[in-house]
Amino acid sequence: MLLGCIGDDFTGSSDLANTLSKQGMRCVQYTGIPSTPAQSDVEAGVIALKSRSIQPADAVSQSLEALNWLLAQGCEQIFFKYCSTFDSTPAGNIGPVADALADALGAQQVIVCPAFPGTGRSIYKGHLFVHDRLLNESGLQDHPLTPMTDPDIRRWLTPQTKYSVGHVDAEAVQSGEKAIKDALKAEQGAGHRLIVVDALRDADLMEIGAAADGLPLVTGGSGVALGLPHNFEKRGQMTVAKTKWRGESGKCIVLSGSCSKATRDQVALHSKTNPTYEIDATMVMTGQLSPATVTQWLIDADGVPLAYSSADPAVVADIQRQFGRDNSAAALESFFAEVARQLVDAGICKILTAGGETSGSVVEGLDLKTLEIGPEIDPGVPALRAGATLVIALKSGNFGAPDYFEKAAAILGVDR
């Protein structure tokens, strides 16, 4: 294994695996830390953790355990993947995990770059933009678990880390690989260990990737991994091989727990032509709604039926006030996981999920260990084979075109 990756949620990990696979790496996504060695032909391993919103100390412990397994597979470089909207709180978990990985690897120039131009995420002057809006004006300021109220990544990261945070600006990045290397070295010389790097275009990410050659640790969204495979390819270490995708027939079902605006818009569009079932969080919390009820409705419904708990920020805030943030989130995640288990037991072979926490719960609930990367549905979202007769797609709440659900259902059912 050449490149070892640690993802802080399951949708982001499949996003990263998709990026690496498209660049020619033989990539496998693992659910949690494997108990056995990787197959010898795996060039990039992505360990998907569900560590984004847990206690920082637990996130660090899990990430270090993942690191140890990846190093045992012979990885030459480690990539820590987090959300392209830098989802975190002032207490973590991005800073604490990055610190711990840097310490373990002796990394002194740690790139911090959540940019993903393909989905409208760019960094300029250290500030994160979502399309033409600053992060805190994009709707992410209303995120129920990690409200993003400051677009300055340096300022948001500083209270999370024990190290000084530096910055490489767009001018250096657009001057190319050597200028980026020189700027990183200068930032290290100035006492900075975690270094935010501007990026506005895919071309910038390719130059950053080239400049990262030889660095033990790189951190960011999946976008900055775009340029990493080329470093191994130019040394003749990669054997580019495409895996043929095999779809599944039968009904496709959608489970959505994301409250992002993008997903709520997708739900609204999908509901115009397909049956939808709104899961009332209060009824879940009080035991008035069972997973079996929702499962049977989905099985009986026509088209591409969708069950969702996605709601606008005011509704989510009210639920959290009534039942507590952690309790309400855990209850809904467990509910979706049980619905997914019952669907698969009933013979459903195609499942779409929306939302990082929802996707993680479904993957854990189904006890999926390895995921084979298939064709890209939308930027950052690949089709995944999860078993002999099960295919899935795990969508981050903020990703996907308005017609994503219909498009994804079609791709899961075809051979490519």
Does 144 share its domain with 9?
yes
Q: Can you give the CATH number for the domain in which 72 is found?
A: 3.40.50.10840
pLDDT of residue 143: 82
Domain boundary residue, one of 172, 201, 233 = 233
Mean pLDDT of all residues in 154-176: 98
Q: Which tokens in the block code for residue 48?
A: 């998907």
DSSP helix/strand/coil, 12: helix
Evaluate whether residue 334 is within a structural domain: yes
Q: How many CB atoms lie within 10 A of CB 255?
A: 26
Regarding whether 295 and 195 lie in a shared domain, the answer is no
Peptide linkage before 136 cis (omega within 30 of 0):
no
So what's the pLDDT on residue 287?
Answer: 94
Residues 259 and 404 in one domain: yes
Q: Are residues 311 and 371 both part of a single domain?
A: yes
Same domain, 271 and 186: no
Same domain, 270 and 127: no
Confidence category of residue 130, pLDDT binned at 50, 70, 90: very high
> How is 73-142 classified by DSSP, letter by letter?
TT-SEEEEE--TT---BTTBSHHHHHHHHHHHHT-SSEEEE--BGGGTEEEETTEEEETTEEGGGTTGGG
What pLDDT does 413 receive? 95
Q: Are residues 185 and 323 in the same domain?
A: no
In this prediction, residues 156-185 reach a mean pLDDT of 98
Q: Are residues 267 and 395 in the same domain?
A: yes
Residue whose tokens read 């499942």 = 351
DSSP 348: -
CA torsion sign for 362, 366, 371, 372 is negative
Residue burial 340-364, b: 16+ Cβ < 10 Å; e: rest: bbbbbeeebbbbbbbbbbbbbbbbb
Q: Give 372 or 186, the one with higher predicted confidence.
A: 186
The first and second tokens of residue 63, run together, are 């990430």
In 200-286, at which residue ranges do the beta strands (DSSP E only) sit?
217-220, 252-256, 276-278
Q: Is 242 inside a domain boundary?
A: no
Residues 208 and 281 in one domain: no
Q: Indicate whether 31 and 135 sit together in one domain.
A: yes
Contact 70, 4 (CB under 8 A): yes
Is residue 173 one of the residues assigned to a domain? yes
Whether residue 146 lies inside any domain: the answer is yes
Domain count, the chain: 2
Q: Which has the minimum average pLDDT: 66-80, 178-192, 387-401?
A: 387-401
pLDDT at 240: 66
Q: Are 79 and 165 in contact (CB under 8 A)?
A: no
In a domain, 246, yes or no: no
For residue 386, give the CATH number of its domain.
3.40.980.20
Out of 204, 233, 262, a domain closes at 233
What integer is the mean pLDDT of 98-107? Answer: 98
pLDDT tens across 11-47, in order? 999 999 999 999 999 999 999 999 999 999 999 999 9
Asked if residue 245 belongs to a domain, the reply is: no
Determine what percent of the chain is predicted with pLDDT higher than 90.
86
What confidence score (pLDDT) does residue 311 get?
Answer: 73
Q: What is the pLDDT of residue 74?
A: 98
Q: Which of 192-196, 216-220, 284-288 has the lowest mean pLDDT?
A: 284-288
Is 395 domain-assigned?
A: yes
Q: What is the pLDDT of residue 241?
A: 61
Segment 204-219 mean pLDDT: 98
241 within domain boundaries: no
Domain range enclosing 84: 3-233
Per-residue pLDDT, 242: 64
Give the residue among 40, 4, 18, 24 at the shortest CA–CA distance from 239.
24
What is d(CA 383, CA 408) in angstroms, rounded to the nearest whole number?
Answer: 8
The pLDDT of residue 243 is above 80: no
170 and 284 fall within a common domain: no
Tell which wins on pLDDT, 186 or 147.
186
pLDDT in tens, 363-380: 999 999 999 999 999 988
Looking at residue 356, what is its pLDDT? 87
Average pLDDT of the residues of the chain: 94
pLDDT at 398: 86
First to last CA, the chain: 26
User: Are 36 and 185 contained in the same domain?
Assistant: yes
d(CA 411, CA 416): 9
